[in-house]
Amino acid sequence: MSVEQTITFIAQPGGHLTGTIRVPGDKSISHRSIMLGSLSEGTMTISGFLQGEDSLATLNAFKAMGVCIDGPDEQGNVTIQGVGMHGLKPPAEPLDLGNSGTSMRLLTGLLSCQGFDITLTGDHSLSSRPMKRVTDPITQMGAIIKATASGTAPLHIKSSPDSTLKAIDYSLPMASAQVKSCILLAGLYARGRTCVTEPAPTRDHTERMLQGFGYPLEINRLDEQHSTICLEGGGKLTACDIDVPSDISSAAFFMVGASIAEDSKLTLKHVGINPTRTGIINILKQMGADITLSNEQEVGGEPVADIGICSAHLKGIHIPEDQVPLAIDEFPAIAIAAACAQGQTVLTGAEELRVKESDRIQAMVDGLQILGIDCQGTTDGMIINGGQIGAGTVDSLGDHRIAMSFAMAALKASGDIIIKDCANVNTSFPNFIQLAQSCGLNVVVSK
């Protein structure tokens, strides 16, 4: 086992969060800016690019396919010389996407019709995550993809004798921005009009960015929950500069931390508040959190704001199911808020959490029980009764969001919380420890 795989966080009890900080750039937008920028015509600059391992996996994949990419520099500036829709070249070896499910699922769509064979691989965690949800619809479009018997990576994508895909009209069986994006990106190369209907709102960064790159698409709101997104294949992307806002998923840990720790007053700068991502704000406010937005503006088609958080007495709630897709990555942090709230919090409709980087439902329930919280997992969620967080050793299972959530739990703990297997925090938040220490969290790294 390498040194990197044995990183442990030791979070000491007490403290509060104060000051003004800026968390790293949005991971979802960083991924997509590399993908669409590489396939665009012209030269573009990305500012605020997230220099985490996941988004760097996407960047390195396109470098391996012949795209000239400079950066990122220390400020997260990246310059891409686009090669156009058909300018990618076959890589010399399989593309290793590390721990990044976004990279693998979106690239499955983009690379399904490039005219060359390619293999997508990943680490042990990524290789255990379900891929049939993307390979099935892309195969319906005419792609030739071979996975393992259980439908997981490595994915072997074969060049099709017919160099174009056929458009489909696809209804998602469950709300998933990654599956929606995979099909839309494949639709760029399809004959005809590809449509995706989603059963509930999911993050819409792909749609916004496609339009920013000059690619027309149509969005039809069928009702409050259902939407259909359609585009015609055969168009082109025109390079445009992108300013990546701070990631609300990374901000979520600090929003929870400042809410639960007494005497906290924290400001998070330039955070993306895309309405398909603000479930964390809506849920915490329903729990009684003191959260305010200021300096609201739109940058590159994405709404951003400064988020202010002060200490609050949280109460347990039944989390509305319509908020679940809008906060799917934030539930480990929300579970910590629930553990510190008065009363019971019930989460339902979140079965997707069982197939993330870890089974996040089980990981959070196991960890909270170790720390003395009365909680249980259900098939599609959790039931958490608020109480006093104790001391103990928990296993993050190599999941970055589990690790950072339990680090914040120490703000209300009675003793040290030791968190094992934290190396993958670098996938989304490479400076988490330093930034957390700077605003008052008592956490150190042990190897």
3-class state of residue 18 by DSSP: strand
Q: Which of 204, 306, 329, 399 is catalytic?
A: 329
Provide the pLDDT for residue 2.
35
Count of residues in the chain: 447
Q: Give me the domain span that covers residue 131.
A: 27-243
Domain total for the chain?
A: 2
Cα dihedral 335, 339, 342, 343 sign? positive
Judge if 127 and 264 occupy the same domain.
no
Cα distances from 77 to residues 17, 149, 211, 248, 374, in angstroms, run 29, 41, 22, 20, 46
Judge if 234 and 355 occupy the same domain.
no
Judge if 94 and 225 occupy the same domain.
yes
Residue 284: give its domain's CATH number.
Answer: 3.65.10.10
Q: What is the pTM of this model?
A: 0.88
**Rounded Cα–Cα distance for residues 70 and 81 (Å):** 9
Judge if 16 and 104 occupy the same domain.
no
Domain final position from 243, 261, 290: 243
Provide the pLDDT for residue 244.
95
In b/e form, how buried is each residue of 383-421, taking b as 16+ CB within 10 angstroms?
bbbbbebbbbebbbbbbbbbbbbbbbbbbbbeeebbbbb
> Per residue of the chain (447 residues), what is the pLDDT tens digit?
233 458 999 999 999 999 999 999 999 999 999 999 999 999 999 999 999 999 999 999 999 999 999 999 988 999 999 999 999 999 999 999 999 999 999 999 999 999 999 999 999 999 999 999 999 999 999 999 999 999 999 999 998 766 689 999 999 999 899 999 999 999 999 999 999 999 999 999 999 999 999 999 999 998 888 999 999 999 999 999 999 999 999 999 999 999 999 999 999 999 999 999 999 999 999 999 999 999 999 887 899 999 999 999 999 999 999 999 899 999 999 999 999 999 999 999 999 898 787 899 999 999 999 999 999 999 999 999 999 999 999 999 999 999 999 999 999 999 999 999 999 998 889 899 999 999 999 999 997
Judge if 233 and 381 occupy the same domain.
no
Domain final position from 193, 209, 243: 243
**DSSP state letters, 271-320:** EE--TTSTHHHHHHHHTT-EEEEEEEEEETTEEEEEEEEE----B--B--
Provide the pLDDT for residue 428.
85
70 is catalytic: no
Burial class of 248 by CB neighbour count within 10 A (0 to 12, 13 to 18, 19+):
buried
**Rounded Cα–Cα distance for residues 373 and 414 (Å):** 12
